[in-house]
Structure 1
Amino acid sequence: MASLHRVSHNTQDPARTDLQRVTGDIARGLPFQITVERWAARFRSGNADVTDLPLSGRSVSATTSENIALIESMVMKDKCITVNQLEQSMEISSGAIHTILTTEPGYRSICGKWVPHKLSQNQRLARLNIAKKLLETYENCDSRRLTEIITGDEMWVYYSTPYSKYKKRSWVRGDEQPAKVPRPDFSKVKIMYTIFFSSHGIVLQLPCESGKAVTATFFTSKCFKFDKNLENYRPKTGTRGMKILIYNASSLQPSLPKISWI
């Protein structure tokens, strides 16, 4: 049954307010007044077409099976490829590319992992064989003897990193490991550190003076001062029975007998 409603003619009340009073909650889903006025002007001009015109720019249906397969193949060829590089190769937005990578194949962008050096396959196999040989050698060995060995080496510490590992981000899935980034070994400002350690951890770490190399005098006067450090985990025996293993310091061998407890 039709019913009559009073429509306000107050100029301060817009037409949408009267429409909401008539239809109640139904008016909440109606278009805005400016949209209705634009449609009315179009109809008065003789254009009665109510279909939407094609939008300019990229297609909204970017997550197609073809795009997903193409992006995944490009990522498999280069795990460090960026979203910007993919955007330049394909005519879809960066947001759509990121959605495809993280939703469909389930990729994650992870920073590269620092490694001391970039090893070849032969070098990796050599390290693996040496590690297996060491495990076989010391499998039945008295582990107490290993705790009596102190060894060490020198390393350069650089004040600045030429490039960041964040620039070597890679796309990984599941338990895949990120790309390995060799740690750079060149810088204008650097300092040499001498680090000695045992099975208990670091025993002594000492920076060398700027512009000077590690010599026998440096070792005997500063490096071989383990007495106080050894007291932390050998309070009763101290340096008794300890052995220093120096592999690549042939120039230091004549100075070693000067140390009484070696």
Structure 2
Amino acid sequence: MEKTEYRAVIKFLHLKGKKSQEIKDELDSVHGEASPSFTTVKQWVAEYKRGRTRILDEERSGRPKTATTDEMVDLVHRTVMEDRRLTVKDIAEACGISSERVHKILHQDLDMRKLSARWVPRLLTIDQKRVRADMSRECLSLCQKNPAEFLRQTITVDETWVHHHTPETKQQSMQWIAVGEPAPKKAKVVLSAGKVMATVFWDSRGIILIDYLAKGKTINGQYYAALLDKLKATIKKKRPHLAKKKILFHQDNARVHTCMVAMSKLNELKFQLLPHPPYSPDIAPSDFFLFEKI
């Protein structure tokens, strides 16, 4: 039986004129150990003697639960929208409620969570995004005219650093061991400071030309222009089918690529330069597949 049902029985037996002990014995004879204690029976008999008629608990005094009202949820939401970096404690102080209430409102009522900012290379302006879209459409229109020829005629270039030593990653050093066997050990390797700059020219068939920059030299306009001449000669040997076709040349916007000397050389070689949007991600294959199997 529920507590309220026991109280109703106690009230009924009390109105019949039975004493507390008699009521207790009556309940024990029916419900055994599940019946309420004598103290509980005595307490409720005393309540009924004082004139109480309700068998339900009285409403308890205390602070009303006003923190999750619609007005408070709206206040928390507006506070967060004004400054999304506020902590739960700051919001609680601003709204005058506990941190626990703020946490509940944010997660359960507003379905919000706090995340760290995702790193991106650059936050683009509206104009920069528009330029990117226009250039992408221009390249797409060239591809759609003749997709097969577009891929055959396109050549891309990028510079990449080749380090003399590439350390083994933690995942690469993982080994299977049995229970009781000692964990594998790996000594700290001092990274070699040596590296060389490689300029790689690609097309859809693979690498056309790789140039390794000599130690002590830097890539400038004259050096890059000489590489373009070398590329033209290599194309005649390795890609004879492109000898009489226009080369669709793609490069990023590095200063050495866009300087006057380099642009003059591209015009001289009659390469058609594909547009590269400013601050566009560089996805040249040199950065991913140059030494895949080593």
TM-score by length of 1: 0.43
Q: Relative CO higher for 1 or 2, CA cutoff 8 Å, sep ≥ 6?
A: 1
Question: Which has more radius of gyration?
Answer: 2
**Alignment TM-score, normalising by the size of structure 2:** 0.40
Instruction: Kindly indicate which of the two structures has a greater share of residues assigned to helix.
Output: 2
